[in-house]
């Protein structure tokens, strides 16, 4: 086993910092349930230290040219790629996700974000607006100090998806990982320092909500970007709004995946597997309501059953394993409770449904068929490997049913009919949509939700709008024409 105990709990002003007087947070390896490391929550004194360091360092960072800032971010991307294996092992210890996933979807996705926004940094400009004599120019300015708060499912990716655009725009960021997965963000901070990032520009503070909350309400913080559940999002959004802070909210979902009768069944089944069982179902954009046209429902389920036969559940450090444990005992208990509610509510348990005996927080990939819209398992985000299969008869009906939710993160359509694909996607209320695939999130594409699933966008050029603000300057070229 590698030594995954970090040098210290926090990363402040360019260095690891420890203060064991903060609440101890054990790091539990989800595959065994054993504590493999320990960190401590940040004390108020450390929060103060980090905010002061950020406020002191940020103006000089913003004053550098975008190209210089970008060079540092791109260097960090290169270091992450060179250390991908080691970082993937750490991500696996932090989250329990199999190496087969972490090697390709976590540190590498973080590197993509640093490379992409590093490349954009030099091109962030304002514009010149001619008014026939007088003119206006605009300046794209950094917001100042941004706070990033992460969920536990993608600790490296979330830290990088927030830090990369924030830093590219000239902001400083204090990042608070989920207390469940505290390790990976520290590595991101360490690597950014190695790449040349000035001290104080990206810092990491550990702790649960009691560390996140004072960061959100501190008047010296200009923006809050949260990845988390809708209930937490509502609290954090309200707290930020009280001081008119900028926000990005990447929240939960109960996304629909619609499989029409002309769909390629293998692709649709593949999409449903990706959209329900990757990361043991702990993905915000998962297509957990799989609407299958009644005429192909049996064929779809039969193919799904076959493919579930090749799931390899086991030690996530073994690269042959493609389905790992859930992140925590608590999250598995929540998931098992939903499974019980599904059975009690009258859905057919088509596959799985049980915790796996032995050590670690394993649960079988689970499929319910004959699910109806009113059932709890079809309405609430489970955040575990539980797929609900519902059937439908026609297009207008399925669009209405797919949209009958407060959530609006993602949606997918599987069909061979090109015009239907675009017509249906155009009517689905979701921010991140897919046609004939599911759950791909390249850095070049905007990512985020509508309705209760969030505010703002991560990734792509759209993220720049959420980490910068415009100043417009009117320039008079003649005398001032006043009424008296």
**Which of 32, 138, 229, 469: binder of ligand NDP (CB under 6 A)?**
229
3-class DSSP state for residue 96? coil
Respond yes or no: is residue 162 known to be catalytic: yes
- Least spacing, CB of residue 438 vs ligand NDP, in Å: 15
**Which of 167, 216, 301, 455: binder of ligand NDP (CB under 6 A)?**
216
- Least spacing, CB of residue 209 vs ligand NDP, in Å: 3
**Which of 252, 256, 316, 353: binder of ligand NDP (CB under 6 A)?**
252
- Least spacing, CB of residue 12 vs ligand NDP, in Å: 18
Q: Is 394 annotated as a binding residue?
A: no
Query: Of 452, 373, 352, which Cα lies nearest the Cα of 407?
Result: 452
Q: Are strands 348-351 and 366-369 parallel, antiparallel or unpaired?
A: antiparallel
Which CB, 314 or 454, lies closer to ligand NDP?
Answer: 454
One of 162, 187, 245, 297 is an active-site residue; which one?
162
Report DSSP letters for 413-444, one per residue.
EE-S-HHHHHHHHHHS--SEEEESS-----TT
- Least spacing, CB of residue 180 vs ligand NDP, in Å: 6
Is 279 a binding residue for ligand NDP by CB under 6 A? The answer is no
Half-sphere exposure of 385 (CA within 13 A, CB side): 28
**Which conformational region is residue 312 in: left (phi greater than 0), alpha (psi within -120 to 50 degrees), or beta?**
beta
Stretch of residues binding ligand NDP (CB under 6 A), selected from 133-141, 173-181, 315-323, 464-472:
173-181
Respond yes or no: is residue 250 known to be catalytic: yes
- Least spacing, CB of residue 431 vs ligand NDP, in Å: 9
Q: Is 381 annotated as a binding residue?
A: yes
| DSSP state letter for 478 | S
Stretch of residues binding ligand NDP (CB under 6 A), selected from 26-34, 228-236, 295-303, 396-404:
228-236
Find all residues with CB under 8 Å of 231, minimum gap 6, and list them: none
Q: Is 451 annotated as a binding residue?
A: yes
Q: Burial level of 129, CB count in 10 A (0-12/13-18/19+)?
A: middle
Query: Of 55, 66, 108, which Cα lies nearest the Cα of 85?
Result: 108
Binders of ligand NDP among 436-475, rule CB under 6 A?
Answer: 449, 454
Which CB, 284 or 389, lies closer to ligand NDP?
Answer: 284
Which CB, 193 or 232, lies closer to ligand NDP?
Answer: 232
Cα dihedral value 440, 442, 446, 451, nearest 10: 30
Is 208 a binding residue for ligand NDP by CB under 6 A? The answer is yes
Query: Of 70, 137, 154, which Cα lies nearest the Cα of 464?
Result: 70
Q: How far apart are alpha carbons 464 and 467 in whole angstroms?
A: 5
Respond yes or no: is residue 458 known to be catalytic: yes
Q: How far apart are alpha carbons 112 and 326 in whole angstroms?
A: 26
Find all residues with CB under 8 Å of 32, minimum gap 6, and list them: 359, 360
Q: How far apart are alpha carbons 319 and 339 in whole angstroms?
A: 29
Is 213 a binding residue for ligand NDP by CB under 6 A? The answer is yes
Stretch of residues binding ligand NDP (CB under 6 A), selected from 78-86, 227-235, 301-309, 312-320:
227-235
Size of the site for ligand NDP (CB under 6 A): 30
Binders of ligand NDP among 362-401, rule CB under 6 A?
Answer: 381, 383
Q: How far apart are alpha carbons 433 and 449 in whole angstroms?
A: 10
In angstroms, what CA-CA distances link 249 with 35, 162, 191, 272, 425? 31, 11, 26, 25, 23
Binders of ligand NDP among 143-162, rule CB under 6 A?
Answer: 149-153
One of 160, 169, 184, 284 is an active-site residue; which one?
284
Annotated binding site: 28, 94, 150-152, 176-179, 252, 284, 381, 451, 454
Residues assigned a catalytic role: 162, 250, 284, 458
Annotated binding site for NAD(+): 150-152, 176-179, 252, 284, 381
Annotated binding site for K(+): 28, 94, 451, 454
Contacting residues toward ligand NDP, per CB under 6 A: 149-153, 176, 178-179, 208-209, 212-213, 216, 226-229, 232, 235-236, 250-253, 284, 381, 383, 409, 449, 454
């Amino acid at each position: 086993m590698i030594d995954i105990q970090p040098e210290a709990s926090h990363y402040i002003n360019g260095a690891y910092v420890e203060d064991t007087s903060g609440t101890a947070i054990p790091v539990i390896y989800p595959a065994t349930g054993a504590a493999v490391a320990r960190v401590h929550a940040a004390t108020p004194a450390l929060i103060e230290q980090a905010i002061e360091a950020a406020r002191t360092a940020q103006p000089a960072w913003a004053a550098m040219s975008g190209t210089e800032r970008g060079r540092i971010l791109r260097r960090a991307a290169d270091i992450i790629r060179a250390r991908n294996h080691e970082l993937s092992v750490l991500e696996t210890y932090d989250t329990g996700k199999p190496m087969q996933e972490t090697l390709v979807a976590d540190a590498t996705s973080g590197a993509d974000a640093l490379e992409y926004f590093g490349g954009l940094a030099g091109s962030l400009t304002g514009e010149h607006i001619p008014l026939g004599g007088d003119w206006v120019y605009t300046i794209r300015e950094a917001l100042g100090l941004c706070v990033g708060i992460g969920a536990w499912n993608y600790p490296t990716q979330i830290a990088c998806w927030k830090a990369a655009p924030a830093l590219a725009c000239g902001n400083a960021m204090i990042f608070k990982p989920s207390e469940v997965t505290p390790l990976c963000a520290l590595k991101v901070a360490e690597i950014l320092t190695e790449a040349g990032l000035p001290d104080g520009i990206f810092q990491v503070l550990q702790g649960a909500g009691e560390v996140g909350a004072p960061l959100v309400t501190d008047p010296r913080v200009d923006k809050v970007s949260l990845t988390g559940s809708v209930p937490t999002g509502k609290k954090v959004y309200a707290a930020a709004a009280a001081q008119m802070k900028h926000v990005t909210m990447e929240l939960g979902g109960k996304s629909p995946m619609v499989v029409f009768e002309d769909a390629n069944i293998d692709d649709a089944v593949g999409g449903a597997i990706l959209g329900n069982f990757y990361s043991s179902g702990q993905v915000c954009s998962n297509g957990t309501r799989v609407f299958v046209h009644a005429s192909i429902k049996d064929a779809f389920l039969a193919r799904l059953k076959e493919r579930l036969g090749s799931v390899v559940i086991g030690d996530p450090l073994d690269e042959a394993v493609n389905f790992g444990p859930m992140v925590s005992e608590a999250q598995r208990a929540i998931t098992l409770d939903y499974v019980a509610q599904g059975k009690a509510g009258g859905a057919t348990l088509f596959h799985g449904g049980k915790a796996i005996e032995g050590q670690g927080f394993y649960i079988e990939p689970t499929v319910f068929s004959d699910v109806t819209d009113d059932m709890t398992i079809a309405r609430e985000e489970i955040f575990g490997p539980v797929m609900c299969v519902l059937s439908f008869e026609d297009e207008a009906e399925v669009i209405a049913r797919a949209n009958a939710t407060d959530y609006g993160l993602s949606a997918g359509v599987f069909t061979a009919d090109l015009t239907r694909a675009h017509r249906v996607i155009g009517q689905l209320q979701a921010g991140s949509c897919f046609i004939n695939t599911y759950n791909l999130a390249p850095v070049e594409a905007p990512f985020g939700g509508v309705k209760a699933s969030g505010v703002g966008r991560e990734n792509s050029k759209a993220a720049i709008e959420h980490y910068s603000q415009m100043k417009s300057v009117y320039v008079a070229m003649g005398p001032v024409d006043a009424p008296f």
